[in-house]
Structures are given as structure tokens and as C-alpha cells.
Amino acid sequence: MKKLRRDVFIAAGAYTVSLGTGRREFNPRKPRPGLEEYIIEAGQASLAQISNPELIDEGVIANFMAARFNRQGNLAGFMPIIHPSLEFKPMVRVEGACGSGGLGVATGIKSVLAETADAVLVVGVEVQNTVKAVYGADILATAGYHAGERKEGHTYFFPNKFSMRAGAYYEKYGKEKARKGMATWYKNAVDNARLNPLAQEHHNQAADLMALGMTPPDGRFFTDHLNLFDCSKVSDGAASLIVCSEEGYKKLGLTRADVVQVVGLGQAEANLTTPPPVLTELTTSRVASQNAMKMAGLALSDIDVFEVHDCFTITGLLAVEMLGIAQPGEGADVVASGATTLTGAYPMNTGGGLVGYGHPVGASGVRMAVDVWKQLTGKAGAFQVPKPVQHGLFLSMGGDDKTVVSAVLKK
């Protein structure tokens, strides 16, 4: 697919608070909202932005592992609780581990391209604080190859996967500068989260974020090459948006200024049963983002704002290199230079990203698209980048660089 056969737009973005440790209102001992509450809150916030909810043609719900976190399957059946008019309309649930949200957006885009719909409500959700971290690690580990990897794997399976990537990066390019780059990524994430009232790290008042980020990793307690600040947290939350055609957004009572156009879409899947070809590269993500850029016909310099999947700070550094912003091994330097802050040349994860906003797994890809939409429509509030913005790119990644969706959006 060189070009989308029909103009496709994204509108009416919304997301909930990312609830978990760090938020003042989070109390692990008290009852908390469940899947339904999050789905309703995010979904209704999108519907509130359009003239008539009855005009939604289809729905997509993205989620990773409600079957185990919440003992709930058949999630498509939760869409009609958002609004009665959604009952008896086509709904589908998609799953691609941490990339579920990206898959959800892509699925919505394909429905519009297939002309089965002019307006698709896409909701991503995950409620993870239902189990202790040690069991949550088991659930998240299913994003890897369970039969082939889990038995030999680490207690904290995914943090260790990316710890191995970090270790390889340290060895190849130098630990000191890598750690500094990763600590800067953490600092930027929290700085941005402080501007985003919905972010999990919004209440973080630590004075010296760099010092926290530089905490030496200790394999006796966690992983060999990542500390806890290098990790996105365990989160509950949901995000929602509407994918629509031109006819669709007009019907919904929106103008071109309210929506952003999907000008590039890249999707790539890697073999789950084989290890990444190069630990210091996000090979699959590179294919997906390059395809999106190619379809958009844009160069890197044309992109004004980025949302990347920083499940760990090292992934942030690798994403900077994967996008071509830095040469291999120089991502750490580019991040440390401040190039990815709100006022830098490549503003990245402006609402906090996974490390700062939080990582309600199935919601993350949708939340990324919403944050780019917010920037391009001037709705980002305190975290609005100061420069004029025309194009943004998001990249949603599932597993260890296995299931990837990237899209370029245009104001």
C-alpha cells in the first residue's frame, strides 16, 4: 500500500488518569475503578466531542491481558456500555501485547479504508493493579515466547529483556554515557508528566531527577542493567479516539481544524520465536516507521513531534536511533543534549510517555496517537510544544520489538 486509498482522519482524542503508584489518589488497599469504568470514562470523553454518538459506525477495543489481570474476555462486548447506540454495531477486540493500542488505531484506519465505516471509536484499556508485581511479571511475560523463553527467563521477564539490550548498549558504546542518556530520558519524562495532570508521575516532586535516574542498577534486587526509574510503571487507564473519513468527521460536526490526517501508516511483525537480530537496534520498529514515513513522503526534518514506546529508558534511546535522529550509539548523546525535550529540535513523548504518563498496556498506543493529535490541534495545554507543528509521528511497539504500528499524522 503506497498510499491510503481514501483520506483518513483522527479526531476526538481523550484519555483517563494513569492510575498506579505515584498518583496521590492511588491506594492499593482500597477499591479502584475496573475495566468498565475506564472504558466508559475514555469512550464517553471522545463521544462528548462529537455532535451525535449514534453516528459511530463501528468500534475497536485494544487490550493485552484482561483475561488474566481481570479474568475477563470477550471485551468487544464492553463497547456498548459506553453508549446504548453502540449496541448491535460491529465491534472487534485486538491484541498485540504492549502494541495493542497501535493495532487498535490501525484496525480503525482499515475499517475506514474498507469503507465499512465512516467513524470508528477506538478504545484502548488495561487495568493491571489487580495483581502483585511478581504475578504481573508472569502476565506481561506472555508478550514473549512463553514455551521457548519463560522457563529460562528472569523473575521480571520483560525488564530483564530490556536490561540485556541496555547491557549490550553499554558494552558497545560505553556505560557512562548510556546511563546519562537514560537518566536524562527519565528526567524529561517526569518533567513533561508534571505538565500533564493525567500523568502517573504528575505528582512526582523529587528535587533531583537526574540523581534518581543515575541510581546504579543492582541485579540482586532487580535487573543487572536497569534501575526502577528506567522502567515505566504498572498502570490502570484507558485512551480513546475516533478514526473517520472526511465525510465521517463532517457528519460528526467536526471541522478540519479539529482533526488530523493519517498521511502515513507502517505496520510490521517480527517472528516471536526468535531473538532480536541486534540487541542494540529496534529492527522491526525501524521497518514500521520507515514505511510510515515513506507513505507520507516526508523526511525526518518534516516531523515536528514524536511519540515513541519508551517502556524503558533504554528503549527511548534506541527509538531515537531507530528513527534516524541519531546514529547508532549516539542516541544517548542526543537525548543528553536536550534535543528531545519540549523545546528541543525533536520533542518526544510530550505528555510524559510511558515512563512519565504511565503504561496501561493496551491503552498506550491509543494514548500516543491522542497526544500527537493534541499537539497538532493545539490542545496539549501546559505541555503544548512552543514551536508551530505540522506533522507528528507515533510508534506503538508490542513485546520485544515484535508487533509494531507507526503512523504519521498531519495537522
| Backbone φ/ψ region at 370: left (φ over 0), alpha (ψ -120 to 50), beta | alpha
Considering beta carbons, is residue 167 or 347 the nearer one to another protein? Answer: 167
How many Cα atoms occupy the beta-carbon half-sphere of 351 within 13 Å? 31
Q: How far apart are CA 255 and CA 410, in angstroms?
A: 14
Query: Least Å distance between CB 164 and another protein?
Result: 16
Query: Least Å distance between CB 346 and another protein?
Result: 38
Query: Least Å distance between CB 144 and another protein?
Result: 12
Run of H or E including 59 = strand 58-62
Considering beta carbons, is residue 138 or 302 the nearer one to another protein? Answer: 138
Helix (H, G, I), strand (E, B) or coil at 68: helix
Q: How far apart are CA 228 and CA 21, in angstroms?
A: 12
Considering beta carbons, is residue 136 or 213 the nearer one to another protein? Answer: 136
**Cα-to-chain-centroid distance, residue 339:** 20
**Beta-sheet pairing, 58-62 with 91-94:** parallel
Considering beta carbons, is residue 132 or 379 the nearer one to another protein? Answer: 132
Query: Least Å distance between CB 20 and another protein?
Result: 18
Where does 159-276 show beta strands of DSSP type E? 236-245, 260-269
- In the structure grid, which three cell numbers stand for residue 238, read together? 484507558
Contact predicate 36/116, CB 8 Å:
no
Considering beta carbons, is residue 138 or 330 the nearer one to another protein? Answer: 138
Contact predicate 9/246, CB 8 Å:
yes
Considering beta carbons, is residue 42 or 65 the nearer one to another protein? Answer: 65
Query: Least Å distance between CB 134 and another protein?
Result: 5
**Residues of this chain that bind another protein (CB under 8 A):** 132, 134-135, 137-138, 141, 146, 150-151, 154-155
Q: How are the residues of the chain apportioned to helix, strand and coil, as percentages rounded to the nearest 5?
A: 40, 15, 40
Considering beta carbons, is residue 132 or 172 the nearer one to another protein? Answer: 132
Query: Least Å distance between CB 219 and another protein?
Result: 9
Q: What is the DSSP string of 354-402?
A: HHHT---HHHHHHHHHHHHHHHHTT--GGG--SS---EEEEEEEETTTT
Considering beta carbons, is residue 134 or 207 the nearer one to another protein? Answer: 134
Considering beta carbons, is residue 222 or 383 the nearer one to another protein? Answer: 222
Q: How far apart are CA 318 and CA 325, in angstroms?
A: 10
- In the structure grid, which three cell numbers stand for residue 48, read together? 462528548
**Cα-to-chain-centroid distance, residue 122:** 14
Query: Least Å distance between CB 223 and another protein?
Result: 10
Query: Least Å distance between CB 208 and another protein?
Result: 13
Query: Least Å distance between CB 163 and another protein?
Result: 13
Angle (nearest 5°) at CA 112 between 298 and 12: 80
